[in-house]
Amino acid sequence: MAMRLDKLLAHYGVGTRKEVKNYIRNGFVTVNGNIVKKDDFKVDYETDEIVFDGEKIVYKPYVYIMLHKPAGYVSATKDNVHPTVVDLIYGYEQYDLFPVGRLDLDTEGLLLLTNDGDFAHKLLAPSRHHSKLYYARIDGVMNENDVLKFKEGIIIDHYKCQSSYLSIIKTEGNNSEVFIEIFEGKFHQVKKMVESVGKKVTYLKRIKMKNLELDDSLQSGEFRELSENELFDLMNDL
């Protein structure tokens, strides 16, 4: 795809638009082995070899980041009280990243960040019914009656949730460990669903979104770009 050379380099993070223009005019940039001194020179970032001061530029208009979100970070780009999930991402300052959806302040696990608004919209659209899988620890004993209620559709805030799946991993004393799969994203939905059957979530972690699983090699607070296969699978049927 064709774009101006100065715009591409500025987006890549080489410098401000003004700085980039000076770099180009002073011969710091080559395109396909030839020095280019025109800042409005059109390049195709998919096919042209662009080199700045000896460094090959591999430009991507969009990035897709998997973050293992820790508790204590708000799913936003800015916040006056808490640190944000964007604060955890470094090396991508040239991209205006934002979280795809949200996890509560105290919820951990899989969170995507991107600068691709169309991708985020399609992934989050309620009409798409994309699944989200959570692991939860519960204060209270979840039972088969709860499994049935989840399947029938829990009512929270005068709203009947879509059918969801509750899988009981184990119960010990007055505590339970469960998997909960939902197909929408209402505010505090998982916590409210559990409260509706008389129990309380004490720990919540999202481990899967659609067909994308949290990379278990990522420690809390760590991140990486999605692989080509992960991105292809995630975008399939969006």
Q: Chain-wide mean pLDDT for the chain?
A: 94
Whole-angstrom distance, CA of residue 217 vs CA of residue 152: 36
- Multiple choice CATH, 131-209, 3.30.1280.10, 3.30.360.10, 3.30.70.1560, 3.90.1150.10: 3.30.70.1560
- Which pLDDT does position 125 carry in this prediction? 86
Whole-angstrom distance, CA of residue 80 vs CA of residue 156: 30
Any idea where the domains of the chain sit in the sequence? 2-57, 64-126+215-235, 131-209
Instruction: Give me the percent of the chain exceeding a pLDDT of 90.
Output: 84
- Which pLDDT does position 22 carry in this prediction? 95
* Model confidence at 225: pLDDT above 90: yes
Tell me the pLDDT tens digit for each residue of 80-98: 999 999 999 998 888 899 9
Known catalytic membership, residue 104: yes
- Which pLDDT does position 129 carry in this prediction? 87
- Which pLDDT does position 58 carry in this prediction? 87
Pick the catalytic residue from 40, 53, 96, 104.
Answer: 104
- The fold of the 64-126+215-235 domain, in CATH, is Alpha-Beta Plaits (3.30.70)
Query: What does pTM read for this prediction?
Result: 0.86
In this structure, what are the phi and psi dihedrals at residue 108, rounded to the nearest 5 degrees? -110, 175
Is 193 exposed, middle or buried, given 0-12, 13-18 or 19+ CB atoms closer than 10 A?
A: buried
* Model confidence at 238: pLDDT above 90: no
* Model confidence at 175: pLDDT above 80: yes
Mean pLDDT across 18-46: 94
Domain 2-57, second-level architecture: Roll (3.10)
Whole-angstrom distance, CA of residue 11 vs CA of residue 233: 27
* Model confidence at 1: pLDDT above 80: no
Asked if 64-126+215-235 and 131-209 have one fold, the answer is yes
Instruction: Give me the percent of the chain exceeding a pLDDT of 70.
Output: 100
- Which pLDDT does position 190 carry in this prediction? 96
Mean pLDDT across 5-25: 91
Lowest-pLDDT range, 68-82, 124-138, 166-180, 216-230? 124-138
* Model confidence at 2: pLDDT above 90: no
Is 8 exposed, middle or buried, given 0-12, 13-18 or 19+ CB atoms closer than 10 A?
A: buried
Mean pLDDT across 1-17: 88
Is 216 exposed, middle or buried, given 0-12, 13-18 or 19+ CB atoms closer than 10 A?
A: exposed
